[in-house]
Structure 1
Amino acid sequence: MNLLQDNFPTFMQGFGYTLLSSIIALVGSMILGTVFAIMQILPQNWVRTIGNVYVQVFRNIPLLIITFFFFLVVANYVKISGFTSGTIALTLYTSAFIAETVRAGILSIDGGQMEGARANGLSFWQAMRHIILPQAFRVALPSLGNQFINLVKNSSVLAFVGGLDLMYQGNMIAANTFDTFLTYIIVAVFYLVITLPLSYYVKHLEIKLKHAA
């Protein structure tokens, strides 16, 4: 394992950037995804249209193209790094899938609960925050967990724009050592260090919420 020992700081740097990008994109995509999920069910046609267009656009454009758009086009007007370009693209791309997942969770809740909350004096947003969304997230948790895991794996797109992530560092090490097989095995293990605990935690949380229901 001389390869790992000799390049451990480089692997760890890439691991750190991958973890940072994943956390930022996870938080950002959850916020954006929830907002656009709600927009798609509001009674105002123009709001629903904006929500639907956003989701359809970012769901149906490859993540790599979105990344290149920020790295090559937006960078002409605003100074933006490869890491930032990739993280923004990852956030927008994932948020579209989360929006659909959360929207499905909201629609699965009996409409009478919203009506009852409004009848008891809660505003739409209060009812959504305190009654509807907690139940919707519980219903959508398995699908959300899959999206979070996909997000971590999709963070490898940063390698295409010099994002200093785990895949980028792996590519550099493989090019310098010519040991591609072992390099990418190590890279895969580092990804598993993030995704396996995440997968376990989501399943644990799902069981816990099911028993609490």
Structure 2
Amino acid sequence: MIPRNKNDEREFPWWLVVAGALGAFFLYRILADDLYRQVLTTLSRGVGITLFVTAVAFTSACLIGLGLAVASLSRYRLLRELARFYTEILRGLPILVLLLYVAFVIAPGMVAAINWVLEGLGQETIRTRDFSLLWRAIVALTLGYSAFIAEVFRAGLLSVDEGQVEAAKALGLNGWHRFRFIVFPQAIRTILPPLGNDFIAMIKDSSLVSVLGVLDITQLGKVTAAGNFHYFETYNVVAFLYLTMTVTLSLLLRRLERHMRRKPG
């Protein structure tokens, strides 16, 4: 393990000054150039889709991941084995492959199963295209990231000293109360930094939903560049939008980490 440099927090962030200067210069170019402004106006419509996909998928992945982490630490072996099977299989699949698999294998299979039930009940069936590509992409990102987030939660829960759990048992707290009042409030300090990194990673990986035709920033960039043939300007704006979101979130995450280190236990 590489030791953390204690001078890192006191060093002046020259990298941030350079990055800010470049960002300000590029923003000036966008505002001063008609072509850049037009491209930015077009691509800005994809920012909402990118953030929506990321927020919904990440929230769902956190809920599933927490359930998997608790199951992996259960005293019941069946739950532990099922949780391990899920995490190992999903972590072994590239997100792009998972997107395509969910969109073109799992989604049609789900629709076929639902239609079989509906036909048995004498109800009107649904079509595969009624399951929108946007939600197929959200499901795929949720499944893929829940496996990684489960390991983050599991490590955080294991970081809590066992003596405190035993003390809570001695006080008569049941399993739910021990988790709610003793384990999770302490584990969250360990969990939040890597969880924030996963959120930033999901923002970047959300660009993969463009392969399904979802109109996020990347897909709008591809369509715009194919229409105006100004690939340099278009993908400059695409990169600028993603960097603005990820660098801003990274800075907020670092500030949160410093705050949590200074906060007394």
The TM-score range, normalised by the shorter chain, is over 0.9
Match of 2:147 among 78, 93, 96: 96
Match of 2:61 among 14, 29, 37: 29
Correspondence 1:38 to 2:70: yes
Unpaired runs of 5+ in structure 2? Answer: 1-32, 112-127
Q: CA RMSD in A?
A: 1.5
Correspondence 1:64 to 2:96: yes
Provide the residue aligned with 1:49 in structure 2. 81
Code of the residue aligned with 1:200 in structure 2: it is: L
Provide the residue aligned with 2:9 in structure 1. none
Match of 1:189 among 229, 232, 240: 240
Over residues 159-209 of structure 1, what are the superposed CA-to-partner deviations in whole Å (9 max), with x where a residue is unaligned?
A: 000111111111101111111122111111111222122112211111112
What's the offset of the Cα at 1:70?
Answer: 2.0
Aligned residues: 213
Within 1, Cα distance between the matches of 2:46 and 2:159?
40
Within 1, Cα distance between the matches of 2:35 and 2:89?
42
Match of 2:211 among 149, 152, 160: 160
What's the offset of the Cα at 1:68?
Answer: 1.0
Provide the residue aligned with 1:169 in structure 2. 220
Correspondence 1:85 to 2:136: yes
Paired residues of 1:81 and 1:163 also in contact (CA < 8 A): no
Within 2, Cα distance between the matches of 1:58 and 1:3?
42
Within 1, Cα distance between the matches of 2:158 and 2:188?
11
What's the offset of the Cα at 1:116?
Answer: 1.4
Over residues 19-76 of structure 1, what are the superposed CA-to-partner deviations in whole Å (9 max), with x where a residue is unaligned?
A: 1111111211111111111111111000111111111111111111111122112332
What secondary structure is seen at the aligned counterpart in 2 of 1:7? helix
Over residues 58-117 of structure 1, what are the superposed CA-to-partner deviations in whole Å (9 max), with x where a residue is unaligned?
A: 111111111112211233225322211111111111111111111111112111111211
Within 1, Cα distance between the matches of 2:36 and 2:145?
32
Q: TM-score scaled to structure 1, two decimals?
A: 0.94
What's the offset of the Cα at 1:157?
Answer: 1.1
Deviant stretches of 4+, over 3 Å:
none
Within 2, Cα distance between the matches of 1:183 and 1:130?
50
Correspondence 1:204 to 2:255: yes
Within 1, Cα distance between the matches of 2:171 and 2:138?
42
Deviates more, 1:165-174 or 1:111-120: 111-120
Code of the residue aligned with 1:52 in structure 2: it is: R
Within 2, Cα distance between the matches of 1:3 and 1:88?
36
